[in-house]
Amino acid sequence: MSEILFDEVPSLDLADFTSGDAERRARFVNQLSDAYQNIGFIALRNHGLSDKLTQRLYAATKAFFALPDEVKQQYEVPELAGQRGYVGKGKEHAKGRNTGDLKEFYHVGQEVTDNDPIKEEYPDNIFPKEIAEFREVTLEAYQKLEAAGKQVLKAIAINLGLDENYFDDKVHNGNSILRPIHYFPIENPDSVPADAVRAAEHGDINLITLLMGASADGLQVLRRDGKWIPITALPEQVVVNVGDMLARLTNNKLKSTIHRVVNPPRELMNTSRYSIPFFMHPRSEMDLTCLESCIDAQNPKAYPDATAGEYLNERLIELGLKKA
């Protein structure tokens, strides 16, 4: 396949895949393949999130982050290594960096409701009592994004020559996370480290990430020729990108592309930016060993064998959220 240098993130329609029409379905799989083998990102419409739900979720998110720091910190539980609840300002940094990102965030995880023993692996969710709608609206958004993610993974499986249900049991009650993020205002830009940014360049840990439209610009993707291009998704789209776990599984056939959130112009540093990604993780026991079909003489095996749980633990330590 020849290399394609996209000037913008390709736009796909999930309804093409779920329509039952073989031609539309095949076109979606092919478009997804081109995007994920080249730039690692797509913008996806007809993903199941309504405008009303999105608006309610952003309203609850903004209301929480507007609370005083001492109230928010009641929902921070250090021994959970950031898995649930609030994570304070500057606590997370990109792999290979020590300067914390200019953000604070909240984690909502899987609610296991079918007596699956994996429930023992997951801490209970923590919800702020000050924001009445926070629990209901985050869990509803979680379920909608998880359902859309499962469809995208089916299309990926088909493209890889696997059974389309290959990922189903691996993501059932997976360790996925909904993360409302607040890139907080900086009233005095000289008061933060010179190299501090909203989110330093990084790859995501998980299988795929589904990102709802952010409240302001700033997200950029590093193209293969070294050029940073802005990600501009329409309000009715979610951005869906390949994570490191999927890159490992496919021996880099599918690209976990480096991305970042840059600071706004100095005169806008005193404004907030909100973003809500859904990090789709498998169950901890999923084997991330490179697929044999993705290994050949030109593409020798690039990664040691690991389970999803082992790899996640390694990365949480690198990000500063967990002690070694």
Looking up residue 48, the CATH number of its domain turns out to be 2.60.120.330
pLDDT tens digits, 197-256: 787 888 899 999 999 877 778 889 998 888 998 887 777 899 999 999 999 999 999 999
Is residue 324 domain-resident?
A: no
* Beta strands 238-242 and 181-183, pairing class: unpaired
Q: With 80 as the cut, is the pLDDT of residue 95 above it?
A: no
Structural domain harbouring 300: 11-318
Is residue 262 domain-resident?
A: yes
Q: What is the pLDDT of residue 234?
A: 77
- Where is pLDDT greater, at 282 or 2? 282
Is residue 6 domain-resident?
A: no
Is residue 32 domain-resident?
A: yes
Number of separate domains in the chain:
1
Is residue 175 domain-resident?
A: yes
Is residue 80 domain-resident?
A: yes
Q: With 90 as the cut, is the pLDDT of residue 2 above it?
A: no
Question: Rounded distance, CA 18 to CA 149, Å?
Answer: 12
158-169 as b/e, with b when 16 or more CB fall inside 10 Å? bbbeeebebbee
Is residue 65 domain-resident?
A: yes
Closest CA to 250 of 18, 25, 5, 32: 32
